[in-house]
Amino acid sequence: MSLLLPVAHALVARKDLPIPAWLFAWGASIVLIISFFALSAAWRKPRFEQERWRPVGAGFSRALLSMPVQVLCGVVGIFLLGFSIYAGLHGTEAPDRNFALTFIFVTAWLGFPLFSVIFGDVFRPFNPWRAIGRMVGGAFSAVAGQRPGHLTYPERLGRWPAAIGLLAVVWLEVVYGASGGVAVGLSPDAAGLAALIYSIYTLAMMALFGVEKWCQRGEIFSVYFGMFSQLGTFGVKDGRLGRRLPLSASTHWATVPGSAAVVIASIASTSFDGAQEGAFKSGILQTFEWLAEAGFSLTTSLRLTDTIFMLLCFAGVGLVYLIGVRGMATVRGAPPLKKLREGFAHTLIPIAFAYLVAHYFSLFVFQEQAQFTYLLSDPLGTATTDLFGTASGGIDFKLLSANAIWYVQVGALVIGHVVGLTLAHDRATAYWGDYRQAARSQYWMLAVMVAFTCFGLYLLSVANA
Amino acid sequence: MNSNAMRAAVGVAVIVVAIVLLVVLRKSDSSNTTSNTSGKVPTIVVKNGKPVGGVRNLTYNKGEQIRFKVESDVSDEVHVHGYDIMKDVKAGGSVSFDFPANIEGVFEAELEGRKEQIIELTVNP
């Protein structure tokens, strides 16, 4: 082969070692054993359909949700967005030395899913576009003496704008940055420009449909991070912070159309990122050469190839889910197909989270060291500033041993599998009055979950994300 | 278990066994690649700014000594990422590396100025 497709991640100086065959075998075996156990020893009544939400201390809740705190969080969010755009456009073009790329695609993009699971929807107060939208709306109300009017959001669209947007973000991160047939990764100025364009688009949509409505349906980051917050125990209800049964909020998340597409897009984009240098490598190379010979420029060929494979991932993950849903529909007493399709989408959220942890855990740990040392003190990468005295710091790659990374990766997939199965079984007992039919329907979801988990393990065994 | 359950169980088992076999077989294929722990020091020859024979795979176990030599017809800086070791090489000259394999993972060595990868360095635990 004369053409080489180098690394897509311009940030990482290190890739994970593939998990060894013995660990793969153990992981897959454990998944299988747990799955059989789940078939036999399952409960008969739904446990997660009710949130059982109860408020935390009133003083703490009031302080945390008070207007000054909201304004402060909003200002922090706006500052970080503005600074990322500025650093992207005016900082160094070395991707690993510019604040913008690491902050947007590692600290925020990978950090918020993690913190959302632990602490609830923490992105909401920091969402810079929501903060700007609320300020503008407040100013409008003060001047005009009435609240701004909005178009009615077409509910048929549901969360589809966010699902497509999610694919677009990952596309920008791992596909767009190509030059002359070489994947060079996204450049900081392109990232800055993209953030600027997305800000304008988001604010326009908020003006059209209302700030909160757009955050619930179309704003990529709100919808995506909000999805993960459904798994956790903390949630705000009627302006009050409270705790609920973990996982329970997710059971009603997917009733909005397009929600399944958001979860599937998440699993698919992580799969693609993991597979492009491993499982899909030869396929990508062949398609790339074929397109290049067909007369496309090298850059176009590479982008086109990656786009095709990314969409194939989306279609593939979606197909596996839909087969599972179709299968469940054949079980006696099944609700209509549409209800099944929406009713089990949330069971994939733990799988999506497990995929994120498995593929990006080491990247996150290593790259955050950069974020809090040289990228903090020298955000523009000019080598002339040292704001906090940490500009000469670096990444300690000895922090995590290969073994530690492997166990976290396999552990995340196995736990995600168990949680997904739990949610699916729980939903089945709610949909099928008869316990035995509910259990029968779950052979299908079990096959879906085993497929995703083993595919995840397989990706880890051949690829270095 | 009823027959439906049996069918599903068999199906799942077949899928898992197939994937396990696939991976194990793949691994035994790739284990044929040469290790560089003994014998002479591997030399990477760079012609017109590109490695002859493509990116070289060098594999070590943690604790071993990593040794290799780069002969280049262009002047550039050889940068071993992760280990962050940099050495200049002059056009027509060569440069030798000798350092302990103490960080696990997969790393690139590249001609820094050209952004051209010449080595894929794998350090197993």
Higher pLDDT, A11 or A433: A433
Contact in structure between B36 and B54 (CB atoms under 8 Å) = no
Question: Hey, which residues does A427 pair with through a beta bridge?
Answer: none
Residue A60 has pLDDT above 80, yes or no: yes
- When mean pLDDT is compared across A4-18, A106-120, A159-173, A399-413, the lowest value belongs to A4-18
**pLDDT class of B27 with cuts at 50, 70, 90:** low
Q: What percent of chain A has pLDDT over 70?
A: 96
User: Which residues in chain A touch residue B21, judged by CB atoms under 8 angstroms apart?
Assistant: none
Query: What percent of chain A is predicted at pLDDT more than 90?
Result: 71
Task: Quote the minimal CA–CA distance from A21 to chain B in Å.
Answer: 6
Q: Helix, strand, or coil here: A342? A: helix
Q: Please give the single-letter amino acid code of residue A261.
A: A
- Answer yes or no: do B117 and A28 touch at CB < 8 A: no
Quick check: A1 pLDDT over 50?
Answer: no
Give the lowest-confidence range in A110-124, A181-195, A441-455.
Answer: A181-195
Enumerate the residues of chain B whose CB falls inside 8 A of the CB of residue A443.
4-5, 8-9
Asked if this assembly's ipTM is beyond 0.95, the reply is no
The residue of A2, A14, A442 whose CB has the most chain B CBs within 10 angstroms, and thus the best one to mutate to test that interface, is A14
Pairing of strands B50-51, B43-47: antiparallel
The full set of domain ranges for chain B reads: 1-32, 43-124
- For B77-91, letters b (16+ CB in 10 Å) and e give ebbbbbbeeeeebee
pLDDT above 70 covers what percent of chain B?
Answer: 71
Residue A434's φ and ψ, nearest 5 degrees, are -85, 125
pLDDT (mean) for B70-93: 92
Digit-coded pLDDT (tens) for A105-128: 999 999 999 999 999 999 999 999
Question: Is the C-alpha dihedral spanning B58, B62, B68, B74 positive or negative?
Answer: positive
| CATH domain B43-124 topology | Immunoglobulin-like (2.60.40)
B-chain residue closest to A362, CA distance: B105
Average pLDDT, chain A: 91
Cβ within 8 Å, pair A13-B54 = no
Residues in chain B: 125
**B125 interaction partners in chain A (CB closer than 8 Å):** 17, 401-403
Q: Are B106 and A17 a contacting pair at CB < 8 A?
A: yes
- pLDDT for B42: 92
Query: What is the per-residue pLDDT for A191?
Result: 94
Give the pTM. Answer: 0.89
pLDDT, mean of residues A49-72: 93
Work out the average pLDDT over A180-207. Answer: 91
Which of A158-167, A178-187, A333-342, A423-432 comes out lowest in average pLDDT?
A: A178-187
- Overall average pLDDT of the A316-322 stretch: 96
Q: Provide the CB-side half-sphere exposure for A330 (13 A, CA).
A: 11
β-strand B65-72 against B43-47: which pairing, if any? Answer: parallel
Distance from C-alpha of A23 to C-alpha of A43, rounded to nearest angstrom:
31
10 Å Cβ neighbour count for A116? 24
Mean pLDDT of all residues belonging to chain B: 82
Q: How far is CA A201 from each of CA A86, A129, A165, A194, rounded to the nearest angstrom?
A: 18, 10, 12, 10
Of residues A2 and A106, more confidently modeled: A106
**pLDDT tier, A185 (very low <50, low <70, confident <90, very high otherwise):** confident
Q: What is the pLDDT of residue B29?
A: 47
Q: What is the pLDDT of residue A54?
A: 93
Query: Is a pLDDT exceeding 70 seen at residue A32?
Result: yes
In this complex, do B103 and A7 lie within 8 Å of one another by their Cβ atoms?
no
* Average pLDDT estimate for A186-215: 95
